[in-house]
Structure 1
Amino acid sequence: MKHLFKLLVAAVLFMGIGVANAQDENHPWAIEIGVNAVDVYPVGTSDKGRIDPSMRGEMFDEYFNAADHWNIIPSVSRLAVSRYIGSGFVFTAAGSLNRIKKLGDYSADNLTYYGADGEIKYSFKNAIGSSWFDPSIGVGGGYTWVDDIGFGTANGLVGIKFWLNDNIAINFQSTYKHAFEDDYGISHFQHSAGLVFQFGGKDTDGDGIYDKDDECPETPGLAEFNGCPDTDGDGIPDHLDECPDTPGLAEFNGCPDTDGDGIPDHLDECPTVAGLAEFNGCPDTDGDGIPDHKDKCPNEAGPAENDGCPWPDRDGDGVLDKDDQCPDVPGTVANHGCPEVTVEVIKQLNEFSKTILFDLGKSTIRPESYAVLQKIVDVMKEYPNAKFEVEGHTDSSGSLKLNERLSKERAAAVKDYLVTIGMDASRLTSEGYGPSRPIASNKTAAGRQQNRRVEISLKK
């Protein structure tokens, strides 16, 4: 029990040294529990120390002769604490105990053996890209007591770990310890085998995944996503999820497609109604090339210039309102949707105009003619795009100059009156022709009366 206490004290001492010198807290600790064997035979005969050279062989002579030369006790006899420093280097503090019954080829009187060692080892595990095979080499130093006489040693070692999983390995190590004291030191080999338990490490976000293996070390996450979270639980970690707060599909990088139209909601202008990619996910029910949300008539095909609605034809004459100069009056295609002025209409207008009366020798319209002038306007308004000319005519009595002036003035008077009672001035012109266009003979009173007239003609 006293010997085990000394071993534990040595291990704790070196563990403290390891903590003080640790450089990278983001790499794990390891504890090794095992057995050791001490062999003083294959160390060479050049130095004396406490062992007669005749008791030893040459360096590495009978190196594996465990039966004749190795000292082993059947219990836990070695404890080690290791810290990964970085770049493949590991610091180890180890304590060991043993009983020396064989000094080379000779027997010994059950000498006590204690060792306390510090080691710097380089692991080739990462260099060779292995997940389980972990060879190493190292150097170190320590202090050894044999039967209460102590001496310092310089150590060189080789080892191999076989990792059973991420945290447990079997370690085999062979260490040559060269004694510094020529008079009472004992150079020897110490072989060991043990179980290594790796633990510790930094876990900044507390999710149980060490930072060195955590792709999201500052955000708690899941082991299946290497420490990254999946906030919406859609199986896509947040750092790869374009919509981390809304469950979605892998094909859309974690974003949903509510209407199932193949366009994810965040790119879909109509996310709840299945639509077309060309319209950013919105439908076009009537197929007129205008998506429904911009179409004033989504169920009837129509042009964009009419907001997706078909052009109306209010008067039903076959000419669309957009092309119909008379959209509220049925007309003909040839006359741009307006009714055409027929010969009968002109005849009717002239029947009315024959009754227009003027003061004698003047252009003043007599009041009894007002009613017939209103009828003329009413007929003209039935043909909204037609233009008319008011013509003034006289008989041949009197001077030509007077007749021409009078005919112009009477025609103008009729035109002006028609405008005052509602006719569009742009659709009327007037002209006087004097006696130049008679419709009867000027030789008779009846003929001259017919020639004194106002006529209305269609202006082309």
Structure 2
Amino acid sequence: MKHLSKILFATMLVLGVTSATAQDSDNPWAIGIQTNAVDFYPTEDLGGTFSDYFNVGDHWNILPSVSRLTVGRYIGNGFVFELAGSVNRIEDYGDTSVPQMSYYSVDGSFNYSLRALLNDGWFDPYVGVGGGYTSIGDSGDQPISDLDVATLNGKLGFNFWFSDNIALTLESNYKHVFNEDGATHFQHAAGVKFMFGGTDSDGDGVYDKDDECPETPGLPEFNGCPDSDGDGIEDRMDNCPDQAGLAEFDGCPDTDGDGVPDNEDDCPEVAGLKEMNGCPDSDGDGVADNEDDCPNEAGPASNNGCPEEDRDGDGVLDKDDDCPDVAGTVANNGCPEPDVEVIKELNEYSKTVTFEFDSAKITSGSEDALNSIIEIMKEYPQTIFHVGGHTDSVGADAYNMKLSKERAASVEKFLEENGIPAKRITSNGYGEERPISSNSTAAGRKENRRVEISLDKDKEMRDSDNM
């Protein structure tokens, strides 16, 4: 026993830096393997029970082997019920030496752990109360005779947990006997306690109390949570739990090594650009190859990455060309415009358009000419034509202006009613302001009384007005 203090000091040093778990609902069972010492000294003077408590050499009867076994079951709220069986040899009865006697006891107690009051550390003191049965062999004429007695027990003990399942146990029991022969004594015990029976629902070796994933088998290094793909990142933190990946991509792989993880990469097998979600852009036109109908020819996204066509070769791309199959002019959105000869032809027809006397009503004989004008206009569907009305100088200026506008409007109306959209025709009257011949002769005045058709030079502005 001279080395006991050194052993206890070393044990405390180890335990002082270790956190462990005591007996509880997750580890309800515990078995203790102990050696025990019986001390009858207090029976001589109950008032001096603790006066020579630690007089080991004079009073303690020690069986230096495994001489006490305990089985404990956690009940709840810090309580444990424990059964203990002991054997010993009695050679000292207080200060008196006696012939060697056998000692047997069976005890039951309810123990209460005070560990929770100490912040659940490795140090686990407990108190207990219970009863037992003690049998002491015959000693003849010695101070203690053959006894089979019941005892009322009180205890104080300490568990020092140095792992989740193993503790060093030191315990002292006071056993009171209610008989005149006297056999009240202390029984001390020291040994090792093994805790078991913890709940492990998923069978992964990590008890539920410590298992952060108690329903799914996992690994101890991840507190019982799994790492299905074995990439060192537990599943609940792994964006790709079934594919081994990299920590920088939260557990997802980057198969093509382009810096875009596969779960965000639209082209995971081909190295690409981050701005293209991991897909390449071979022609550099800003359209990813997987969406580019012409991946090796630069083209706008509006045309699926292909160059814009100009089928009629008029310098206006088909997407902007109102007449993509007929060469036209840029000014007319890719559609052809009537040239001087066409305008001349239109005006030859317009010269034959006549009106009833002093009226804007078109004569029936003018319809053939107007129909010919309509056919020519239909050949230029994007062109806006202007109908201008003119008079000679006979009559008042205001009257001539009014009549010229009415006659131009009559022609415009006829064209619209016969298939030419209103947005393609404008009209106005100019009275006698624009003569093309002398008003001094009858022949000249006849030429000045006319309707002219020309291109509308202001068509773009009116297009926007009509939208």
- Counterpart in 2 of 1:217? 214
- Counterpart in 2 of 1:154? 152
The 1:358/1:30 distance shift into structure 2, 3 A limit, reads: closer
- Counterpart in 1 of 2:39? 39
Instruction: Quote the Cα distance in structure 1 between the aligned partners of 2:448 and 2:45.
Output: 162
The 1:250/1:91 distance shift into structure 2, 3 A limit, reads: farther
Instruction: Quote the Cα distance in structure 2 between the aligned partners of 1:297 and 1:456.
Output: 47
Unaligned runs of 5+ in 2: 1-22, 138-145, 395-399, 458-467
Instruction: Quote the Cα distance in structure 1 between the aligned partners of 2:119 and 2:444.
Output: 128
Deviation at 1:451, TM superposition (A): 6.1
- Counterpart in 2 of 1:81? 71
5 Å matches for 1:159-198? Answer: 159-181=157-179, 183-198=180-195
What RMSD in Å do the two structures reach over aligned CA positions? 5.3
Instruction: Quote the Cα distance in structure 1 between the aligned partners of 2:320 and 2:291.
Output: 24
- Counterpart in 2 of 1:29? 29
- Name the amino acid aligned to 1:237: E
Say which of 85, 97, 110 aligns to 1:120.
110
5 Å matches for 1:193-212? Answer: 193-212=190-209
Deviation at 1:144, TM superposition (A): 1.2
Matched, 1:94 2:84: yes
5 Å matches for 1:272-351? Answer: 272=268, 276=274, 281=277, 299-301=298-300, 330-331=328-329, 348-349=344-345
Scaled by the length of structure 2, the TM-score of the pair is: 0.65
Matched, 1:137 2:135: no
- Counterpart in 2 of 1:15? none
Scaled by the length of structure 1, the TM-score of the pair is: 0.66
The 1:394/1:423 distance shift into structure 2, 3 A limit, reads: farther
Q: How many residues align?
A: 411
Instruction: Quote the Cα distance in structure 1 between the aligned partners of 2:405 and 2:184.
Output: 147
- Residues 150-159 or 427-436, more deviating: 427-436
- Cα deviation code 1:144-184 (max 9, x no counterpart): 11224212222222333344433333322222222222x12
Unaligned runs of 5+ in 1: 1-22, 48-57, 397-402
Instruction: Quote the Cα distance in structure 1 between the aligned partners of 2:32 and 2:345.
Output: 125
Say which of 425, 431, 435 aligns to 1:427.
425
Instruction: Quote the Cα distance in structure 1 between the aligned partners of 2:322 and 2:238.
Output: 60
The 1:79/1:374 distance shift into structure 2, 3 A limit, reads: same
Instruction: Quote the Cα distance in structure 2 between the aligned partners of 1:411 and 1:67.
Output: 141
Instruction: Quote the Cα distance in structure 2 between the aligned partners of 1:162 and 1:127.
Output: 15
* Cα contact 1:391–1:456 (8 A) shared by 2: no
Say which of 220, 227, 232 aligns to 1:230.
227
3-state SS, counterpart of residue 221 of structure 2: helix
- Residues 189-198 or 427-436, more deviating: 427-436
Instruction: Quote the Cα distance in structure 1 between the aligned partners of 2:335 and 2:242.
Output: 63
The 1:212/1:429 distance shift into structure 2, 3 A limit, reads: closer
